[in-house]
Amino acid sequence: MFERLGVPGRFFRTRIRPRRRYTTPMKANSPQDKRILEIAEPLAETLGLEIVRVRVMGGKKTTVQIMAERHDGTMVVEDCARLSRALSEVFDEADPVSGEYDLEVSSPGIDRPLTALSHFERWEGFEAKIELDRLVENRKRFRGMLAGIEDDNVLMDLAGEDDTAVIPFEWIADAKLVMTDALVEASLKARGPIEGEDGQADE
């Protein structure tokens, strides 16, 4: 079961441990996704960007979808274009995807995926959906208000529960924000003046 934070004075506190950096299926799912992430992350860092998620999707033509953002959570068209150009040059040499493919670099969007501990901390106070990689209390899917992080755990106020759930980050298989008026307002405020139309660059 989840550990729970109770009423003031009865909080459960986990033992403080050095924070580990997890590469979860949320950020890179398949071995090919992980290979692309290994190439893209250091390059994005040099541009002041963070890779949020990598997905290689099949179809009539393979698409390599890379979501990225600045470390403050913003992303504009010019950022997408810079990262797209830099990745195209590196991918031409590393050849992480066989055959022809489209490279799509975009911002995470408003109801964005949450793929790092810092994302859960940044979006504290907003509603989210979380899916675990295991059954907890006979279910895998949970919805509630993000309440920050503690050590390597995500804190969440679940609907219908009085206590705050303490969810190990490494148990989370998928997570995203829920579209609400408060989220839209906060996203637009953080974005500031519009610098581009769609926040996406294709190669």
For residue range 12-32, what is the model confidence (pLDDT) as tens digits? 333 334 445 445 678 999 999
Which pLDDT does position 3 carry in this prediction?
62
Picking from 198, 197, 181, 199, the residue whose alpha carbon sits closest to that of residue 189 is 181
Which pLDDT does position 78 carry in this prediction?
96
Indicate the domain borders of the chain. Answer: 31-108, 113-187
Overall pTM surpassing 0.85 (yes/no): no
Look up residue 169 and give its two tokens.
Answer: 């980050």
Low-confidence ranges of the chain (pLDDT < 70): 1-24, 192-203
Which pLDDT does position 160 carry in this prediction?
84
Look up residue 24 and give its two tokens.
Answer: 């979860």
Segment (H or E) for 166: strand 164-168
What dotted CATH number matches 31-108? 3.30.300.70
pLDDT digits (tens, 9 = 90+) for 134-147: 999 899 999 999 99
Which pLDDT does position 16 carry in this prediction?
36
Which pLDDT does position 58 carry in this prediction?
87
Q: Would you tell me which CATH number, out of the four given (3.10.20.740, 1.10.1370.30, 2.30.30.180, 2.40.40.20), belongs to the domain 113-187?
A: 2.30.30.180
Q: Which amino acid is at 101?
A: Y
